[in-house]
Amino acid sequence: MARLGRLPTPAEQPRQQPAATAFLTFHCFRDLSNNHLTGEIPFNIGFLQVATLSLQGNKFSGPIPSVIGLMQALAVLDLSFNELSGPIPSILGNLTYTEKLELNDNLLTGFIPPDLGKLTELFELNLANNNLIGPIPENLSSCANLISLNLSSNHLSGALPIEVARMINLDTL
C-alpha cells in the first residue's frame, strides 16, 4: 500500500512553473501574467479559443509561435515583458479582429512585418524596447483606428512615413 506524504507548503513550492501546464482551452479570457512561467510558449497555445491572451511579465523565451496567428477570435494579445526572441511572425497579420497588440520589452529582432498593416481593428500597437531594425512600414497607416503606436527604443531607420504621420486617430506616437 502506498504511503501518503506531506504536501509542500507554498513557501516550499518551486517559483518557476513549466508553461505547458498552465494552458487550458475554451476560455474567453486567459490571463497568465506575472506567474514566473518559463521556457518557450507551447505550440498548443494555438488551440485556445480566447478573445484575450495575456502572458506578460513571465520569463518566456524563444520565438513567438506562428500558430498564434491562427487564433482568429483574438482581440487582445499581450506578450510584453518576457524574453521572447527572433522576428515577429508575419502571420500575426492574420489577427484581423485584434484591437491591442503588446510585444514590447522583449528581445525581438528583424523588421516590423508589413503584414501588421492588415490589422485594421487595431487601437494599440506596442513594439517598444526590442531590437527591431529597418524602416517603419508605410502600410501601418491602414490601421486607421490606431490610437497608440509605440516603437521607441528599437534600432529603426529612415523617416516616419507621411502616411503614418497623417493618421487622424493617432494620439500617441
Q: Which residues of 67-89 are buried (b: 16+ CB within 10 A; e: fewer)?
A: bbbebeebbbbbbbbbebbeebb
This prediction has a pTM of 0.83
pLDDT above 60: residue 44: yes
Domain ranges of the chain: 29-165
Query: How would residue 164 be classed by pLDDT, with cut points 50, 70 and 90?
Result: confident
Largest CA distance in the chain: 75
Question: Per-residue pLDDT averaged across 28-48, rounded?
Answer: 88
Find, among 91, 101, 38, the residue nearest to 68 by Cα.
91
pLDDT at 16: 53
Q: Which residues of 139-166 are buried (b: 16+ CB within 10 A; e: fewer)?
A: bbbbbeebeebbbeebebeeeebeebee
Domain 29-165, CATH class in plain words = alpha beta
Q: What mean pLDDT is reported for the chain?
A: 87
pLDDT above 60: residue 40: yes
